[in-house]
């Protein structure tokens, strides 16, 4: 998402740097890259192919469809079956693959019956165009309804240390073995201030507060896979290093309590 222009619109200021970020991610052992047809639009998918195709065998490319772009920072749901099929075909072409590993419905379009939206994805899977179906920004009730129509492999919701509105969804995912992919996974704000909970734990581990926030997610649940976005190689390396931090059970619990006391308005994107 961050490898595009301002407002997630158009080309990045430095396309070669964006490609360097992608190549470095693979060098660091990253095995899942999350994108969407709407990032740019089209720009992110194209850059991924330019930087990484042919892809390493172990690399999973996850993309999404279901949001139209009418301008910078503008997102309009479109779950019409014909549109979803069209966008899947275009993503296949841009990414240079015959099958998309994980194809996610970016948003459930309230103006289109859910069964029709998921039916389109089911047909794409039956045709071999996609391997797994994912959802994004759904509540527990919507997830349950969706699972009556298709096998759901993953859910991508906004979730982080200080914003756990979707904890009930995560609990369902844990019970069902469904991957939970938090977007906006880094919580900073007051928690990272000197003397704050994140700051204190970070000092113990010689890490940054952002790294500890990511590490907390990994410790919080075995089905969680954070997807912190970045356009800088140094930031990418910092994010990846979070996976090496070993938090104690006490630290995980302390951070959970501290996170519940932070107002969402204090959060900043990571």
The pairing of beta strand 60-65 with beta strand 32-34: parallel
CA distance 211 to 264: 19
- Find how far residue 226's CA is from the centre of its chain: 7
Q: Which two tokens stand for residue 114?
A: 């859910």
Q: Is 39 a catalytic residue?
A: yes
Question: How many whole angstroms separate alpha carbon 146 and alpha carbon 132?
Answer: 14
For residue 132, CA distances in Å to 15, 101, 123, 236 come to 30, 6, 12, 26
Q: Residue holding tokens 């997610």? A: 217
Helix spans in the chain (H): 15-27, 43-52, 81-95, 114-126, 140-147, 167-176, 197-204, 209-220, 233-241, 249-260
Strand, coil or helix: 250: helix
Q: Quick one: tokens of 245? A: 């931090």
Catalytic residue among 39, 55, 83, 159: 39
Q: Which residues are catalytic?
A: 39
């Amino acid at each position: 998402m961050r490898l595009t222009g301002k407002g997630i619109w158009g080309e990045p200021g430095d396309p070669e740097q964006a490609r360097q970020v992608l190549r470095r991610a693979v060098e660091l052992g990253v095995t899942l890259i999350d994108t969407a047809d709407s990032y740019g639009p089209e720009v992110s998918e194209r850059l991924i192919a330019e930087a990484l195709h042919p892809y390493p065998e172990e690399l999973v490319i996850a993309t999404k469809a279901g949001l139209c772009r009418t301008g910078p920072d503008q997102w309009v749901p479109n779950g019409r079956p014909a549109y979803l099929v069209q966008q899947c075909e275009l993503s296949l072409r841009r990414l240079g693959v015959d099958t998309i590993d994980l194809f996610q419905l970016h948003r459930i379009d309230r103006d289109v019956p859910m069964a029709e939206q998921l039916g389109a994805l089911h047909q794409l899977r039956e045709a071999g165009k996609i391997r797994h179906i994912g959802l994004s920004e759904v509540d527990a009730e919507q997830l349950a309804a969706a699972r009556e129509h298709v096998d759901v492999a993953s859910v991508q919701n906004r979730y982080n240390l200080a914003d756990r509105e979707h904890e009930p969804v995560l609990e369902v995912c844990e019970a069902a073995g469904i991957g939970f992919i938090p977007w906006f996974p880094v919580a900073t704000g007051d928690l990272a201030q000197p003397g704050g909970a994140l700051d204190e734990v970070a000092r113990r581990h010689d890490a940054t507060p952002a790294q500890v926030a990511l590490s907390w997610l990994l410790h919080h649940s075995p089905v969680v896979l954070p997807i912190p976005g970045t356009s800088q190689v140094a930031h990418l390396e910092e994010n990846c290093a979070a996976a090496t931090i070993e938090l104690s059970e006490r630290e995980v619990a302390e951070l959970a309590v501290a996170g519940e006391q932070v107002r969402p308005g204090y959060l900043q994107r990571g």
